[in-house]
């Protein structure tokens, strides 16, 4: 089990190098001793987290708990302590005796340390069990995923947080909470009481914790309900994107869209992603149709005789079908800017297309992969030798208004020459959590992925302003680089001062869970700027 190591980090940067700090007081979990059982292990890390919180509070400094530090936004920014939770990464299959009556599928329940990466979780679950959806990066930690409400593009499903049935959150020295929705418990009452000194089954408190924004405490563990193991057939095509095909996506006729872009399709896919070049939008808006980069997954029952080999082998490095930023970074690392024949803004989409390899070949069957292999592994940039600063803003909009919204966004993108980006469409339904940025029943997340340049940030800012001018509802990803303000938070989630709004209910949970001293300690610059602290 891990122990705490204290040090002063000379220079700290988050994963995407959007935050820089010098001489940072850092607490880090390091290996120490033999593995423990679930409850003993979680009690130990909870005590360690509480000790760090007490130290920060004594010095009147804020504390940020980090997983893989993936987020682009200011959500990890403050002037105080850093706590690295990366070694809190154990996973336990929960014994049936430790489960409550709500856990009907008792063989699917796992208790997961907050510092566990999605890569580790996939490896633990597969091939007999599987996650239903994840984000575009399997190096993110479970606690970090809940921090910003990470989504995928599985049709008819929400975000990663929709898997969660219980949350263990540390809120101070000697203080932790086990939180579930209720009314019946998922974790047996005695087991929960052995883990935390507060055990509550309350929908609002649970829904607040599902997207905690780093402001409710330190996520020590979550109880996850996995799905039965499955595999996906992977299809990647370059196909003209038309106004009619966008209309099919807007209506939710995903089966018809899939048939249009891949003739062998006879069913609704499990997953759809569309990458489009904003400089050559689809026919009916500006110019001729262009080839969009489209990924489809088809869910299949596993063949047990081959699934174990699929879980052990599979995707090569950076083959994750939907990791647009990785495609771009890989292309640019091998293609210096001065060698490009196109102006750089237009060249970004061209470069992404060069790294997008259609499959399957005509007359062959699609590759069949487990979910974890089809969505990973992500390999850290320093290992691959990349030195490229990437930009990503993400907007959740209502699917029923996709055509109008996309036109507005593309017009705004072009208003000052455009950015160094591509647009990526992903689909989310009924995401859990009070502060899920995918707050619409049927959301389309439109990512602006590309290079970190002034053009890119200006283009994203223009898009947000255009959506506001035309009164199109949208929300921005908490972990990305859009401009989130307290005014926009209040517009999208209601006033934090009103206890009946989403933001007000989330803030009430913060005041319920944290003492005044801990509210000063567990905060970030972002929470203050958003009006939520």
Q: What is the pLDDT of residues 493-512, one digit of tens each?
A: 999 999 999 999 999 999 99
Which regions of the chain carry the CATH code 3.30.70.2520? Answer: 231-484
Check residue 340 and give its pLDDT.
Answer: 47
- pLDDT exceeds 60 at position 341: no
When pLDDT is cut at 50, 70 and 90, the band that residue 375 belongs to is confident
Contact (CB, 8 A) for 220 and 165:
no
| Non-local CB neighbours of 214 within 8 Å, separated by 6+ positions | 64, 65, 75, 76, 147, 522, 524, 526, 527
Four-residue CA torsion sign, 153, 155, 157, 163: negative
Check residue 156 and give its pLDDT.
Answer: 96
401: left (phi over 0), alpha (psi -120 to 50) or beta: alpha
When pLDDT is cut at 50, 70 and 90, the band that residue 335 belongs to is low
Count of residues making up the chain: 533
**Least confident range of 132-146, 167-181, 285-299, 429-443:** 285-299
**Least confident range of 16-25, 179-188, 394-403:** 16-25
For the stretch 151-172, pLDDT in tens is 999 999 999 999 999 999 999 9
The residue that leads in pLDDT, 203 or 311, is: 203
The residue that leads in pLDDT, 342 or 101, is: 101
The residue that leads in pLDDT, 446 or 34, is: 446
Averaged pLDDT for residues 469-479 = 97
Contact (CB, 8 A) for 165 and 146:
no
- pLDDT exceeds 90 at position 416: no
- pLDDT exceeds 80 at position 323: no
Tokens 């190096």 sit at which residue?
139
Check residue 347 and give its pLDDT.
Answer: 79
Helices and strands (DSSP H and E) totals, the chain: 18, 20
Check residue 310 and give its pLDDT.
Answer: 59
Averaged pLDDT for residues 32-38 = 79
Q: Above pLDDT 90, what percent of the chain?
A: 74
SS3 content of the chain, % helix, strand, coil (to 5): 35, 25, 40
Check residue 346 and give its pLDDT.
Answer: 77
Check residue 203 and give its pLDDT.
Answer: 97
Check residue 32 and give its pLDDT.
Answer: 75
Pairing of strands 231-241, 271-276: unpaired
**Least confident range of 52-56, 376-380, 383-387:** 383-387
Choosing among 3.30.465.10, 3.40.50.720, 3.40.50.460, 3.40.190.10, the CATH entry for 2-228+512-529 is 3.30.465.10
Check residue 222 and give its pLDDT.
Answer: 98
Rounded to whole angstroms, the Cα distance separating 49 from 27 reads 9
CB-neighbour burial class of residue 58 (10 A; exposed 0-12, middle 13-18, buried 19+): exposed
Rounded to whole angstroms, the Cα distance separating 127 from 369 reads 10
- pLDDT exceeds 50 at position 16: yes
C-alpha distances in Å from residue 501, one per residue of 90, 156, 318: 36, 25, 41
The residue that leads in pLDDT, 442 or 79, is: 442
Check residue 308 and give its pLDDT.
Answer: 61
Averaged pLDDT for residues 202-224 = 98
Q: Angle at CA 480, nearest 5°, toward 475 and 485? A: 55
Choosing among 3.30.70.2520, 3.40.920.10, 3.20.20.140, 3.30.390.10, the CATH entry for 231-484 is 3.30.70.2520
Rounded to whole angstroms, the Cα distance separating 434 from 153 reads 20
Check residue 350 and give its pLDDT.
Answer: 83
Number of other residues whose CB lies within 10 A of the CB of residue 189: 12
Which regions of the chain carry the CATH code 3.30.465.10? Answer: 2-228+512-529
For the stretch 425-463, pLDDT in tens is 999 999 999 999 999 999 999 999 998 989 999 999 999
When pLDDT is cut at 50, 70 and 90, the band that residue 338 belongs to is very low
Q: Above pLDDT 70, what percent of the chain?
A: 89
Check residue 286 and give its pLDDT.
Answer: 66
Q: Taking all residues of the chain, what is their mean pLDDT, rounded to a whole number?
A: 90
- pLDDT exceeds 50 at position 465: yes
Check residue 344 and give its pLDDT.
Answer: 64
- pLDDT exceeds 80 at position 339: no
Check residue 353 and give its pLDDT.
Answer: 85
CB-neighbour burial class of residue 227 (10 A; exposed 0-12, middle 13-18, buried 19+): middle
Check residue 309 and give its pLDDT.
Answer: 61
When pLDDT is cut at 50, 70 and 90, the band that residue 379 belongs to is low
Check residue 88 and give its pLDDT.
Answer: 81
**Least confident range of 23-27, 182-186, 286-290:** 286-290
Check residue 354 and give its pLDDT.
Answer: 82
Tokens 């005044």 sit at which residue?
516
Averaged pLDDT for residues 196-204 = 97
Check residue 312 and give its pLDDT.
Answer: 58
């Amino acid at each position: 089990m891990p122990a705490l190591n204290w040090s002063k980090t000379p220079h700290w940067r988050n994963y995407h190098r959007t935050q820089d700090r010098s001489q940072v007081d850092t607490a880090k979990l390091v290996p120490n001793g033999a593995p423990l059982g679930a409850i003993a292990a979680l009690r130990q890390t909870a005590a360690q987290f509480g000790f760090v919180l007490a130290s920060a509070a004594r010095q009147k400094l804020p504390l940020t708990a980090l997983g893989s530090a993936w987020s682009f936004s200011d959500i990890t920014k403050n002037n105080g302590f850093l706590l690295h939770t990366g070694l809190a990464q154990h996973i336990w299959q929960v014994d049936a005796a430790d489960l409550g009556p709500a856990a009907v599928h008792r063989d699917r329940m796992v208790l997961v340390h907050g510092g566990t990466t999605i890569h580790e979780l996939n490896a633990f679950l597969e091939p007999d069990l599987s996650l239903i959806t994840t984000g575009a990066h399997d190096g993110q930690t479970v606690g970090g995923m809940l921090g910003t409400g990470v989504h995928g593009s599985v049709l008819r499903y929400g975000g990663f947080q929709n898997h969660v049935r219980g949350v263990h959150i540390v809120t101070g020295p000697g203080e932790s909470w086990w939180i579930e929705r209720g009314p019946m418990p998922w974790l047996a009452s005695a087991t929960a009481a052995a883990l935390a000194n507060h055990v509550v089954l309350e929908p609002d408190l649970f829904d607040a914790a599902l997207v905690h924004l780093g402001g409710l405490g330190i996520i020590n563990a979550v109880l996850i309900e996995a799905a039965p193991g499955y595999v996906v057939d992977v299809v990647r095509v370059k196909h003209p994107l038309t106004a009619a095909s966008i209309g099919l996506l807007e209506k939710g006729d995903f089966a018809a869209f899939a048939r249009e872009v891949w003739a062998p399709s006879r069913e609704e896919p499990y997953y759809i992603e569309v990458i489009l070049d904003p400089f050559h939008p689809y026919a009916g808006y500006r110019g001729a149709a262009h080839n969009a980069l489209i990924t489809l997954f088809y869910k299949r029952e596993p063949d047990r005789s081959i699934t174990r080999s699929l879980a052990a082998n599979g995707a090569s490095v950076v083959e994750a079908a939907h990791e647009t930023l990785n495609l771009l970074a890989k292309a640019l690392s091998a293609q210096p800017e001065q060698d490009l024949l196109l102006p750089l803004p237009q060249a970004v989409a061209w470069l992404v297309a060069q790294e997008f390899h259609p499959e399957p070949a005509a007359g062959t069957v699609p590759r069949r992969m487990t979910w974890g292999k089809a969505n990973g592994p992500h390999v850290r940039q320093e290992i691959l030798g990349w030195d490229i600063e990437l930009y990503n803003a993400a907007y959740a909009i209502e699917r029923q208004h996709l055509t109008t919204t996309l036109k507005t966004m593309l017009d705004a993108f072009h208003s000052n020459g455009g950015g160094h980006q591509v647009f990526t469409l992903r689909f989310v339904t009924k995401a859990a959590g009070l502060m899920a940025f995918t707050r619409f029943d049927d959301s389309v997340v439109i990512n602006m992925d590309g290079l970190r340049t002034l053009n890119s940030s200006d283009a994203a800012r223009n898009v947000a302003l255009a959506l506001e001018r035309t009164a199109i509802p949208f929300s921005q990803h908490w972990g990305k680089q859009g401009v989130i303000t307290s005014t926009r938070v209040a517009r999208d989630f209601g006033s934090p001062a009103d206890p009946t709004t989403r933001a007000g209910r989330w803030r009430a949970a913060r005041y319920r869970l944290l003492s005044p001293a801990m509210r000063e300690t567990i905060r970030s610059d972002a929470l203050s700027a958003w009006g939520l602290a």
